[in-house]
Amino acid sequence: MDLDLTESESAFRDEARAWLAANVPSEPLPSMDTADGFVAHQEWEQRLADARWAVVSWPEEYHGRGASLVEWVIFEEEYYRAGAPGRVSQNGIFLLSPILFDHGTKEQQDRFLPSMATGEKIWAQCWSEPEAGSDLASLRSTAARDDERGGWVLNGQKTWSSRATYAHWGFGLFRSDPEAERHNGLTYFLFPLDAEGVTVRPIAQLDGEAGFAEVFFDDVFVPDADVLGDPGDGWRVAMSTAGNERGLSLRSPGRFCAAADRLVDLYRERVSTGSTTGADADGVVDAWIKAQAYRLYTWGTVTKLAGGGDIGAAGSVNKVFWSELDIALHETALDLLGPEAEVESRWLDGYTFALSGPIYAGTNEIQRNIVAERILGLPREVRK
Amino acid sequence: MKFVLDGDQLDFAGALDSLLANADTVAVARAWADGDHEPGLKLWGRLAEMGVTSLADEPVFLVLAFERLGYHAVPGPWVESVAYLGRADGIATVALPPHVPYALDADVADEVYAGSARAAEVGDPVGSVDRARRLFRVTGEGATDEAAFDRAVLATSAQLLGAGERILTDSVTYVKQRRQFGREIGSYQAIKHQLADVRIALDFARPLVLGAALGEVPVSAAKIACADAAYRSSRTGLQVHGAIGYTQEFDLSIWLTKVRALVTAWGTPAYHRQQVLEGLV
């Protein structure tokens, strides 16, 4: 049992650290959920890709480095420590790409992965519907077979689609077999958001920015080439995304360790200026400890995955923990800021974003059900 | 980078577990609480034969052993004798005011210390919330060995983790059996979510214990997380058991009271938070 890096892992860390130190913009980019900020973040993705830092774990033929899971965690740690911009491409590179690698055809991989890696094409997720949130399998948007044109015709409405306001492509589930119920008869589709019949209506989030949108489908034709996995097999295909979203890929420990370190800095600064009496110290200590717990837990997960293991329901344990940690950490920062807390700041942005954590990627209530039923073995809830 | 237990470590924990699972440790703890030390001393001897008293310099094995001791509620001054004083043979105990104001189980110890010196005098026992913890006021003065103190904190953390795991295990078993309103109470979300939160808290306390054993994080961080998680487990465990959990006769009481005692043993949460803070700023 050890936490030591190999020589090549250390070299990888040094190389990432040096590149980030030389290239991370000194001023934060404007919000990715504004027109200008979106473009600025796309340009940042291009820079990352040019230096092959955009998708380190992908194969070299798709702008990656074939990095190991350990190296990926190291890169993330360095990325957040350097205060680098948020990833506008995250829906694509973290949620969709694992499915494209596992279930996509070679043609689809060649067509979609390169522009995803460079940030040229940004992807939006289209899961929830007005009547299908936590109960995603009750979704009603339809896909009707069109043999003549060799594809499917989509109708319905998706909502809370992250990045859809400015994104180029979307991915989501549609009911392709009207006779089938719930998890059966769903198909996973990829579609351009400027296709004929698609209407995107931005929704202002709590902070006023259009981080998500409603997407309406009115007889939208999608060719067979843009079906991911087999028709009717969409639920199984999609669930590999859900696991990734809850588990490792969306929330690497680097993010929380860097934020906890900044929180310690903030505390130190507030103490030195006499702005805090030190009554907030417990929150600082607890956030730091939890960030460390998350880092160490992740190394345990990485070791298991490298040994051929599977995250499984433990992704739900993970998701509840990081989402609550993120809020507690930012609440502590706001406590430290005192009456200044309400004033626009990076901490306030982080806090507002953190508030969404217990809701997206499967609410924490759903995650607790999964932990109780699949890990503790408690009886399943009666569901209709 | 290999942050999982290896085969030897798993085998050791497994061997301890099978010994303790067949040793009726609940009866041992109850006898100890009533002043009958014989079964407890016998068990001490069997654990010593398996090497548990010689782990002071093997932090990973130390935490594995102490987690099992906590899981099975094994009574005795294990932290004091093995982790702090490093006694491979015999039984010793120690008081280190202010953090360890009493010498645990001084009546069974061959040697009783006050800090680094032998205690001048051992007073009358003081009652603990955990009836199996027999506390004695001692007189005498001596310095604290900081490295040994850290080892004792680490061992106490592991013991808390084990006790928290046991309460969760027993609570899950109970809510699957107990039926109200025509179904198992474990099928209600109000119960499920509380137990899920215990699972999550314990899952994120364990890596801190192992990380502290490797010197990666301060032992105080492990103690805080284990105390929080085990205490959450005990509060939740009591709540989901209902009135039966509130009885001394029901075995859950052994762990509920032990957790409460260990939360403040070897440094209170406030002391350990201060330690972590000082390391950070």
Check whether A243 has a pLDDT greater than 60: no
**Mean pLDDT computed over every residue of chain B:** 97
Name the pLDDT band for A249 (thresholds 50, 70, 90): low
- Which residues in A lie closer than 8 A to residue B182 (C-beta atoms)? none
Helix (H, G, I), strand (E, B) or coil at B91: coil
Which pair of structure tokens corresponds to residue A204? Answer: 């202002």
Closest partner residue to A303 (CB to CB) among B3, B205, B224 is B3
Helix (H, G, I), strand (E, B) or coil at A24: coil
Separation of alpha carbons B132 and B76, rounded Å: 8
- B195/A381 Cβ within 8 A: no
**Closest chain B residue to A295 measured between Cα atoms?**
B207
- B191/A369 Cβ within 8 A: no
Identify the architecture of domain B146-280 in CATH: Up-down Bundle (1.20)
Name the pLDDT band for B140 (thresholds 50, 70, 90): confident
Q: Class of the A123-233 domain?
A: mainly beta
Domain ranges of chain B: 146-280
Residues A247-375: name the CATH superfamily. Butyryl-CoA Dehydrogenase, subunit A, domain 3 (1.20.140.10)
Separation of alpha carbons A19 and A8, rounded Å: 16
Outline which parts of chain A fall under CATH 1.20.140.10.
Answer: 247-375
Residue B72 sits at φ, ψ, to 5 deg, of -100, 5
Check whether B243 has a pLDDT greater than 80: yes
Name the pLDDT band for A248 (thresholds 50, 70, 90): low
Mean of pLDDT values over A138-157: 97
Which pair of structure tokens corresponds to residue A239? Answer: 């669930």
Angle between helices A253-272 and A69-81 (to 10 degrees): 30
Separation of alpha carbons B21 and B38, rounded Å: 18
> So what's the pLDDT on residue A279?
78
Query: pLDDT for A250-309, tens place per residue?
Result: 578 999 999 999 999 999 999 999 888 777 899 999 999 999 999 999 999 989 888 888
Taking the C-alpha atoms of B6, A377, A245 and A136 in order, what is their torsion angle to the nearest 10 degrees? 160
What distance in Å separates residue A298's CA from the closest CA in chain B? 9
List A202's β-bridge partners, or say none.
A213
Position with higher pLDDT, A165 vs A240:
A165
What distance in Å separates residue A281's CA from the closest CA in chain B? 7
**Exposed, middle or buried by CB within 10 Å (0-12, 13-18, 19+), for A71?**
buried
Query: pLDDT for B169-216, tens place per residue?
Result: 999 999 999 999 999 999 999 999 999 999 999 999 999 999 999 999
Check whether A383 has a pLDDT greater than 90: no
Q: What is the distance of C-alpha B237 from the center of its chain?
A: 17
DSSP string, B197-257: HHHHHHHHHHHHHHHHHTTSS-HHHHHHHHHHHHHHHHHHHHHHHGGGGG-SSSTHHHHHH
Q: What type of residue is B90?
A: G
Q: Work out whether strand B92-95 and strand A198-203 pair parallel, antiparallel, or are unpaired.
A: unpaired
> So what's the pLDDT on residue A276?
81
Check whether A189 has a pLDDT greater than 60: yes
Which pair of structure tokens corresponds to residue A305? Answer: 């995955």
Separation of alpha carbons A166 and A275, rounded Å: 41
- B191/A289 Cβ within 8 A: no
> So what's the pLDDT on residue A310?
78
* Contact map slice: A 39-58 vs B, CB within 8 A: none
Separation of alpha carbons A33 and A91, rounded Å: 14
Query: pLDDT for A103-116, tens place per residue?
Result: 999 999 999 999 99
Query: pLDDT for A337-382, tens place per residue?
Result: 999 999 999 999 999 999 999 999 889 999 999 999 999 999 997 7
Outline which parts of chain A fall under CATH 2.40.110.10.
Answer: 123-233
Which pair of structure tokens corresponds to residue B113? Answer: 């210390």
Task: Look at the pTM and tell me if it is higher than 0.90.
Answer: yes
